[in-house]
Amino acid sequence: MASAAEELPTGVFPVRGQADVVTARRAALRLGERAGLGRRRATEIAIVVSELASNIVKYGVRGEVTLAWEAAALVVVAKDVGPPIRDLETALADGCDDRGPIDPALLAGRGGLGTGLGAVVRLADRFECRQDAGGKEITVRFLR
């Protein structure tokens, strides 16, 4: 386990395609493990990073995921240039997107189950979303 947050690797990962999602996910997993958070918690962090990066690919024009340590927390920031989330509360509900319930016949074509942002909220210790017409920024924190 690293003794200080400064010793842990951090980084900014541009996200333009699926290969970038995999790169960011792997980095998050390694970071969680090197921080001594345990395999399960590191995997949860990797799931969150994967979901946020996948959403950039699906819904944004371009974006990035940043992994950094602040005090006693791993902070993950996903930024994108693209349309805002129309209704965040609805988008956080399983089986819904930002417009409401997802037609089950469309789920397979979406590449997911419609549980992504809800899973992000469930797995992270803190969740914040800021957005404007030019894009959005989702910040999640994982406390040590």
- Residue 58: CB atoms within 10 Å: 13
For residues 3 and 45, give the distance between their C-alpha atoms in angstroms, rounded to a whole number. Answer: 20
How many structural domains is the chain composed of? Answer: 1
Nearest CA-CA partner of 139 in 83, 87, 84, 73: 73
User: Per the domain annotation, does 5 fall within a domain?
Assistant: no
1-33 pLDDT, tens digit per residue, is 444 444 566 899 999 999 999 999 999 999 999
User: Per the domain annotation, does 134 fall within a domain?
Assistant: yes
Q: What is the helix (H) or strand (E) element at residue 41, kind and residue range?
A: helix 39-59
What confidence score (pLDDT) does residue 3 get?
A: 46
User: Per the domain annotation, does 4 fall within a domain?
Assistant: no
What confidence score (pLDDT) does residue 31 get?
A: 92
122-136 pLDDT, tens digit per residue, is 999 999 999 988 899
Q: Which amino acid belongs to residue 18?
A: Q
Give the domain CATH number at 75: 3.30.565.10
47-78 pLDDT, tens digit per residue, is 999 999 999 998 888 999 999 998 889 999 99
pLDDT at 116 over 90: no
What confidence score (pLDDT) does residue 8 get?
A: 61
Predicted model pTM: 0.87
Give the structural domain span for 117.
10-143
The answer to whether 18 and 43 have CB atoms below 8 angstroms apart is no
**Percentage with pLDDT > 70 across the chain:** 88
Helices (H) and strands (E) in the chain, counts: 5, 7
What confidence score (pLDDT) does residue 1 get?
A: 46
When pLDDT is cut at 50, 70 and 90, the band that residue 103 belongs to is confident
User: Per the domain annotation, does 2 fall within a domain?
Assistant: no
DSSP assignment letter at 138? E
User: Per the domain annotation, does 1 fall within a domain?
Assistant: no
Higher pLDDT, 99 or 3: 99
User: Per the domain annotation, does 129 fall within a domain?
Assistant: yes
Alpha helix (H) residue ranges in 78-136: 88-91, 104-110, 116-123
When pLDDT is cut at 50, 70 and 90, the band that residue 45 belongs to is very high
